[in-house]
Amino acid sequence: MKPNETELKLLSEIMQLKMKLESTRRAARESSVKSLVSGSSLPVYSDLPTLAPVFTLRAHSTKVHDVVWSDTDQYLLTVGAEGLIVVWDTTVGLIHNVLDGTSIQPVTAASSGDARQVFCGGLCANVVLFQSMHQTADEGYSIYENHFVYEHSSQVNSIRLLSGSKLLTGAANDGALIWDIESVKVTGKYAHNLCAIECLGLLSGSEEANIFLTGASDGQIRQWDIRQPESLVSIFEAHSSTVNCIRPLPNGYNFVSGSEDTEIHLYDTRTDVILATYSDPHYPVSHTSLAEPDSISIAHSEGPLGFESAGVSDIAVSPSGRLLISGCKDWGVYYWDVAQPNRWIHYETEIGPVIRVAMSNRKTALAMMTWDPKTRIRIMRPH
C-alpha cells in the first residue's frame, strides 16, 4: 500500500527534524567552552571566596551515609550507618531531633521544610515516611511515628520531594518512581534496565519544572519528563563509570555530573553532548603524612607531580553557576571555574575522603562531610 500525502508530509518533517538535531549536535561538538570563553571578555577569578566552618556537627558513632538540606535550609539531615537520622537546626548547630530508623537501614533521606515529615530509604528496599508527633517540653523531643511505607524491590539510593504532594525515588532495580504521598500510589514509572540508579537531579527554572535526570551505575545520564511516564526523553554522552551526583546550574538548562571516572562533565539539556570536562588526575598528596587540612591556589603552584585522583563524590554549584566545588575520594576539594575546564583554580586537602559538599538550597551555606577516622560534618559559610 502506497503512503498517502499526509504520511509523506509527516515523514518529510521527521527527516527535517533529524537533520536539524544532527546539525545541533555537530555544532555543539565543534565548539568548546574554552574556545567560547577565549572570544569573550569574561573576567578571570582574582579573589576566590573562602569557606570557614561555622558549626561542627557531632552525634553519630559510625560512618554517615548522607547529608541532606531541608527545602527551607533551616534543618540538615544526617543519615548514620548505625540507623539514626539526626535533624540539626542549622541556625545554632544543635540537634533538633533524632529519628530511629534502624529497622529500615537508611542510606538517604529527604524532609519537608519544617522537618515534620522525614522520608527515609535504604537497604530494606522501602521508603518510610515518619511523621513528627508533638510532645510537651517536659516530655522531651517530639517523637517520629511510622506513617506510610512506599514499597520497592531493591535498595533505595535517592529521594526527592516534588511539588503537588509528590515523591520521586530512585532504586537499584526499580528505576525511578513517582508517588502520590497521601494515597501511597505510584503515578509514574521510569525504567532503567540492567543498571541501578545512583542519583537524581532536578533542573532549576520554571520552564524545566517537569524534567528530572537520573545518574546510573552504567555511567549514563538519562533525561525524563514527569508528564510522560515510561518515555525516555534523551540519553547524554556517558561517563566511563558510575555517576555519583548530578547538580543543576541556575540557568535551568545546564547541569554538571560527577563520576567514579574522576571527571566532571558539563551538559546542556538542549543537546546530548558533553560541553566540557573537568578533571585533574595528577595532584600529589601523601595520605600517610597528612595530619591537618591544607590548601593551595593555582597562582602559587609550580605544577603537579604524578598522582591519580579518585572518584568525584559530590559537587556544589555557586549562586552564579560560575564556580564549582568538587569533593573527591582522594581527600581533595577542588575549585573549578566553569569557563576554565583545563585546570582547577584552587585546591584544599582534608584528612579523609570527601563524600559530600552539599550546597544549601538558597546557596548561603555548604555542608561538608569527610570520612576521617571519625566522620566529620561541618557547616561552612563564606567569609
- At 62, is the secondary structure helix, strand, or coil? coil
pLDDT at res. 210? 87
pLDDT digits (tens, 9 = 90+) for 27-48: 665 555 555 555 445 566 667 8
* Rounded CA separation 347/185 (Å): 46
- At 85, is the secondary structure helix, strand, or coil? strand
pLDDT value at 13 more than 50: yes
pLDDT at res. 163? 87
Of how many residues is the chain composed?
383
pLDDT digits (tens, 9 = 90+) for 75-106: 999 999 999 999 999 999 999 999 999 999 99
pLDDT value at 124 more than 60: yes
Instruction: State percent of the chain over pLDDT 90.
Output: 64
* Rounded CA separation 189/175 (Å): 7
pLDDT digits (tens, 9 = 90+) for 298-313: 433 333 333 445 799 9
DSSP state of 96: E
pLDDT value at 161 more than 80: yes
pLDDT value at 137 more than 90: no
What's the mean pLDDT in 160-167? 92
* Rounded CA separation 218/275 (Å): 20
- At 15, is the secondary structure helix, strand, or coil? helix
User: 345 with 338: CB under 8 angstroms?
Assistant: no
pLDDT digits (tens, 9 = 90+) for 253-284: 899 999 999 999 999 988 888 999 999 765 44
Buried/exposed 87-106: b ≥16 CB within 10 Å, e otherwise? bbebeebeebbebebeebbb
pLDDT at res. 141? 62
* Rounded CA separation 241/252 (Å): 26
pLDDT at res. 284? 45
| Number of neighbouring beta carbons within 10 Å of residue 327 | 27
Q: What is the CA radius of gyration of the chain?
A: 22
Q: What are the sequence ranges of the domains in the chain?
A: 282-383
pLDDT digits (tens, 9 = 90+) for 329-352: 999 999 999 999 988 999 999 999
pLDDT value at 58 more than 90: yes
What's the mean pLDDT in 12-29? 72
DSSP secondary structure of 180-235: ETTTTEEEEEE--TTS-EEEEEE--SGGGTTEEEEEETTS-EEEEETTSTT-EEEE
pLDDT at res. 281? 60
Region of residue 298 (left: phi > 0; alpha: psi -120 to 50; beta: else): alpha
Nine-digit cell at 288?
600517610
Helices (runs of H) and strands (runs of E) counted in the chain: 2, 29
| Number of neighbouring beta carbons within 10 Å of residue 133 | 11
Model confidence band, residue 288 (pLDDT cutoffs 50, 70, 90):
very low
pLDDT digits (tens, 9 = 90+) for 192-239: 988 999 999 998 754 457 899 999 999 999 999 998 887 899 999 999
Q: What is the mean pLDDT of the chain?
A: 85
Specify the pTM: 0.84
pLDDT at res. 205? 57
Cα-Cα end-to-end distance for the chain: 73
Task: Compute, in degrees rounded to 10, the torsion defined by CA atoms 19, 20, 26, 32.
Answer: 180
